[in-house]
Structure 1
């Protein structure tokens, strides 16, 4: 069953006879259409008795490819007329669902005024389908991750004391392109010295120095699917304290990966890592969740957090990224896993040894 049929069946089961898809990632997932600026409204997807894809004239060539999915195509002369076409396609519906996290209030008001149907807000309606990946999707994510791992090996050869974080980030992007990546999955985090103690540091002009930690968090994008990789590098010889922290983070990751299996709750994976830190009285330095799903977006379900109880299932793909953060810096190690045959399988290879350059 293709994605469009799955969603239409889900709509029926939820007592809806119409649905308006506005999230551009979900539109791509269902139709293959990808616009240029996701911040702008470039298309609507109407799922009713006669499903329809609606866009503006500037995308009429791209709309021809969407036609292959058996959708009706409606082309608006201007973007601000697209929603009127969508409303027209939903006129015969009695109960219409919409994506509450991706509909502007002005759009909601226009829907309410233009339809007699009851409007029903939904959350993660299509995202819950996306969380279980197909073999093709898993292969694309793995390819993106392998490109990222190869890029890491190449960037190691270029590192020199005195380089700025921004220079390293620039070089990393060039390497990813040279290896077949479409670009970055997100803006790379290059954090040196005390900056590595900030989990979401913004790459800047600080120069790397001997005796410090350099933390890289980045990912390639391949055929619209994302990778995510974090590696901790020691510039020069690692001191005993830093080595000890590195090994604790690595052990926490290994314990979490071993715990992950089909059927467990996502917070149990978090606990496996956090319990290791608790045993070493380090848990207060673990400042974030253990991981997140990945695919067409860099952050998707499932989330491996203490409060989340998502049931992990075969063909889910997500990161496992424990970290410890201090005033002098931090250590984070991140890899992607997929649940296959009930167990976690790492995409690509893990980095088990300490890296000193």
Structure 2
């Protein structure tokens, strides 16, 4: 029986033939995993139009045999570029494409010294395959989203004034691990009070206090696939201003989710939310794109942003995450990961959007 990874490899080989690429060096870890199933991290692939070679060191021989049995394993003793050059010479390869957004300059120099043929930079070959998730990927993304959502629900019963943001982030990450998560999809964000004005305010030693908004952006991983969820809550009595800003962001997020469906351009979804904030005089405080793709990487294509003309298709998974960030005051962000469908979308991070006051 042909595995899902062999099917992906066949699709990639077909692309290489269509684009007249004799071979492709795959070094980005998530692309290696997507094509081969190898999760060791320390490995690269050489894909020709008929064959696949997995290069790694002796620590991963057994893992490669188990996870990527259809790839010929090549032992790396020092530099993968040396082993790669030998295989390329044996196969008589004259052209090798490589991922220009991942290979370092030092690796390129080493590769140039070990391979006498032409090196051709390319981008997006595998990323385009990853745009639309198959059923197995969707199942893993749903599990990652469920673990992430459960961690948010858990932390609501643990928060109290005097805890540091770092402490809260640690509790979130530990809980996700206990629920079956791999490493966090990204550095957990906990930003309270005025620090909420920092869109990527990673957890600090600041202690949370009563009457403060706390923004938490967290993501589990499950078998390599990421979850991504943000909620802002209030610790203690909420002020009228806090409620006002929260309700604006909440409505913006709901409008964004309603705009997601197959056939819509990515920029159109962003424009719905950006236009809403502009109508209410808050456009300058929404300073990032509306969302991004989620999969083996927590930030991948497509991007929901101005100028992005990608047409959303069923099976794409994106975030909808509007936020308002007011200097010297704080901020609010509400984010969900959603699965694009023909007539709308399905939320993969199901927790309430109502302002929670603890």
Q: Say if 1:18 and 1:90, in contact at 8 Å, map to a contact too.
A: no
Partner of 1:161: 161
Partner of 2:257: 257
5+ residue gaps, structure 2, are: 1-5
Q: Say if 1:27 and 1:45, in contact at 8 Å, map to a contact too.
A: yes
1:59 correspondence with 2:57:
no
Partner of 2:209: 209
Cα offset, 1:116, TM superposition: 4.0
Partner of 1:31: 36
d(CA) in 1 for partners of 2:51 and 2:229? Answer: 43
Partner of 1:184: 184
* Secondary structure in structure 2 of the residue aligned to 1:231: strand
The aligned length equals 349
* Secondary structure in structure 2 of the residue aligned to 1:273: helix
d(CA) in 2 for partners of 1:66 and 1:212? Answer: 48
Partner of 1:311: 311
1:88 correspondence with 2:115:
no
5+ residue gaps, structure 1, are: none
Q: Say if 2:232 and 2:332, in contact at 8 Å, map to a contact too.
A: yes
Cα offset, 1:178, TM superposition: 2.5
Q: Say if 1:55 and 1:79, in contact at 8 Å, map to a contact too.
A: no
Partner of 2:323: 323
Cα offset, 1:349, TM superposition: 1.9
Cα offset, 1:66, TM superposition: 4.3
Partner of 1:343: 344
Q: Say if 1:44 and 1:86, in contact at 8 Å, map to a contact too.
A: no
Partner of 2:107: 107
1:235 correspondence with 2:240:
no
1:7 correspondence with 2:12:
yes
Q: Say if 1:314 and 1:342, in contact at 8 Å, map to a contact too.
A: no
Q: Say if 1:182 and 1:222, in contact at 8 Å, map to a contact too.
A: yes
Cα offset, 1:224, TM superposition: 1.2
Cα offset, 1:307, TM superposition: 2.6
d(CA) in 2 for partners of 1:58 and 1:182? Answer: 20
Cα offset, 1:26, TM superposition: 0.7
Cα offset, 1:241, TM superposition: 1.2
1:107/1:207 CA distance change after superposition, 3 Å: closer
Cα offset, 1:67, TM superposition: 4.7
* Secondary structure in structure 1 of the residue aligned to 2:101: helix
d(CA) in 2 for partners of 1:61 and 1:251? Answer: 52
Q: Say if 1:44 and 1:83, in contact at 8 Å, map to a contact too.
A: no
1:306/1:62 CA distance change after superposition, 3 Å: same
d(CA) in 1 for partners of 2:311 and 2:265? Answer: 5
d(CA) in 1 for partners of 2:78 and 2:131? Answer: 31
d(CA) in 2 for partners of 1:71 and 1:183? Answer: 26
Partner of 1:355: 356
d(CA) in 1 for partners of 2:135 and 2:194? Answer: 41
RMSD: 1.6
**Deviates most, 88-97 or 231-240:** 88-97
TM-score by length of 2: 0.93
Cα offset, 1:354, TM superposition: 1.3
* Secondary structure in structure 2 of the residue aligned to 1:184: coil
- What CA deviation, in whole Å up to 9, does each residue of 1:22-70 have, x standing for no partner? 11111111111122xx5xxx222111243211111122121212452x2
* Secondary structure in structure 2 of the residue aligned to 1:207: coil
1:24/1:348 CA distance change after superposition, 3 Å: closer
Q: Say if 2:318 and 2:337, in contact at 8 Å, map to a contact too.
A: yes
- What CA deviation, in whole Å up to 9, does each residue of 1:297-342 have, x standing for no partner? 1111011111322221110001100000112100000001111234
Partner of 1:16: 21
**Deviates most, 100-109 or 161-170:** 100-109
* Secondary structure in structure 2 of the residue aligned to 1:64: helix
d(CA) in 2 for partners of 1:66 and 1:27? Answer: 11
Cα offset, 1:350, TM superposition: 4.5
